[in-house]
């Protein structure tokens, strides 16, 4: 059967520096592929890093300059950043999954977005986080049902959800119904409970799960970051901006690699699609272990655009 080596890249971003984060992403992709990985997953909002002020300051308490910087450094999709990432995927012949902070070409609302690139460099899909969590709602807008891609690869079907979206049972159910075999879960969640969640998703979906966190020490916040002392306090916030928590889990819920914390590292594991198929002989949540005569899910996959044009014929004179 089909096997593949995957990589969960736990690394530090360069806060609010799009170019530095892009360069680092490409370097890490090459490093993982050199070690044999064919599917490489990087953390949530790795370009240009997490809006950490949402949790270290009172809501909207002097964050204007930071938000303006985020808008300036956010990623337009498609655009130069996606062109560069696609080129790197093509150069390495790998599938790349990476989190970015996205905005529209002429907008200032930010979306927590996961991008999927194919080994030919094509941007295969993007997923905007459906519901930002807690204080994240002061920074990010909501995605819609049009960005829930499930992608065919030679190694199985690839998809996933972002951070606490993985707690949304109906979102999970929809993806299970699309036959997901490899589940990417970029996240910022640091707890032991999160590892339990990743194991639950693997068991519930009978799929492989790749959970990927950034790992950033406070000393890695750039020295010239605007109002750095106000942004982060060792006494109030501790030493770790993001402590890591990456893990790779098989369809039986067994941890194959990790969890890794407090270090930049790349976790690797060999995935075998036959193990997914075998695991579903006893439990398939949307197949033989489902009761569609009792339970049904309706999903609106339409894009929710702010403007809908209605063209009318000119009036008759």
pLDDT tens-digit profile, the chain (317 residues)? 589 999 999 999 999 999 999 999 999 999 999 999 999 999 999 999 999 999 988 888 889 999 999 999 999 999 999 999 999 999 999 999 999 999 999 989 999 999 999 999 999 999 999 999 999 999 999 999 999 999 999 999 999 999 999 999 999 999 999 999 999 999 999 999 999 999 999 999 999 999 999 999 999 999 999 999 999 989 888 999 999 999 999 999 999 999 999 999 999 999 999 999 999 999 999 999 999 999 999 999 999 888 877 876 767 76
CA 78 to mean position of chain CA atoms: 17
The one catalytic residue in 21, 126, 129, 215 is: 129
Looking at residue 317, its pLDDT comes to 66
- What span, in angstroms and rounded, lies between the C-alpha atoms of 20 and 13? 8
Q: What is the CA radius of gyration of the chain?
A: 20
Looking at residue 42, its pLDDT comes to 98
The one catalytic residue in 44, 102, 136, 165 is: 44
Which tokens in the block code for residue 146?
Answer: 């049009």
Looking at residue 309, its pLDDT comes to 79
The one catalytic residue in 126, 136, 163, 215 is: 163
User: Which is it for strands 75-76 and 39-41: parallel, antiparallel or unpaired?
Assistant: unpaired
3-state secondary structure the chain: CCEEEEEEEECCCCCCCHHHHHHHHHHHHHHHHHCCCCEEECCCCCECCCCCHHHHCCCCCCCHHHHHHHHHHCEECCCHHHHHHHHHHHHHCCEEEEEEEEECCCCCCEEEEEEEECCCCCEEEEEECCCCCHHHHHCECCCCCCCCCCEEECCEEEEECCHHHHHCHHHHHHHHHCCCCEEEEECCCCCHHHHHHHHHHHHHHCCEEEEECCEEEHHHCCCCCCCHHHHCCHHHHCCEEEEEEEEEECCCCCEEEEEEECCCEEEEEEEEHHHHHHHCCCCCCCCCCCCCCCCCCCCCCCCCCCCCCCCCCCCCC
- What span, in angstroms and rounded, lies between the C-alpha atoms of 265 and 83? 26
* Residue 21 among the catalytic residues: no
* Residue 163 among the catalytic residues: yes
Residues paired with residue 36 on neighbouring β-strands, in sequence order: none
Question: How many CA atoms lie less than 13 Å away from 120 in the CB half-sphere?
Answer: 3
* Residue 19 among the catalytic residues: no
Tell me if the bond preceding 259 is cis, omega within 30° of 0: yes
Closest CA to 12 of 194, 195, 226, 246: 246
């Amino acid at each position: 059967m089909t096997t593949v080596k995957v990589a969960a890249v736990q690394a530090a971003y360069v806060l609010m520096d799009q170019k530095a984060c892009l360069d680092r992403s490409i370097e890490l992709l090459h490093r993982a592929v050199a070690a044999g990985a064919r599917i490489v997953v990087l953390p949530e909002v790795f370009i240009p890093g997490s809006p950490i002020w949402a949790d270290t300051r009172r809501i909207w308490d002097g964050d204007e300059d930071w938000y303006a910087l985020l808008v300036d450094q956010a990623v337009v999709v498609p655009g130069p950043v996606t062109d560069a990432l696609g080129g790197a995927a093509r150069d390495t012949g790998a599938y790349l999954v990476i989190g970015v902070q996205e905005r529209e070409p002429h907008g200032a609302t930010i979306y927590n977005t996961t991008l999927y690139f194919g080994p030919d460099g094509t941007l295969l899909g993007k997923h905007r986080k459906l519901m930002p969590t807690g204080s994240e709602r002061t920074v990010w807008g909501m995605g819609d049902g049009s960005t829930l891609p499930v992608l065919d690869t030679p190694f199985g079907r690839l998809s996933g959800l972002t951070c606490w979206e993985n707690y949304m049972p109906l979102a999970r159910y929809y993806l299970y119904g699309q036959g997901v075999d490899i589940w990417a879960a970029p996240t910022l969640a640091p707890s032991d409970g999160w590892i339990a969640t990743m194991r639950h998703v693997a068991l519930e979906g009978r799929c492989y799960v790749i959970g990927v966190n950034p790992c950033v020490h406070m000393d890695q916040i750039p020295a010239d970051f605007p109002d750095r002392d106000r942004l982060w306090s060792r006494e109030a916030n501790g030493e770790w901006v993001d402590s890591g928590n990456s893990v790779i889990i098989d369809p039986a819920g067994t941890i194959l690699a990790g969890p890794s914390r407090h270090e930049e590292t790349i976790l690797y594991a060999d995935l075998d699609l036959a193990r997914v198929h075998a695991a579903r002989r006893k439990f398939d949540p949307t197949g033989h272990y489902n009761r569609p005569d009792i339970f049904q899910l309706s999903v609106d996959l339409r894009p929710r655009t702010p403007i809908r044009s209605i063209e009318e014929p000119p009036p008759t004179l």
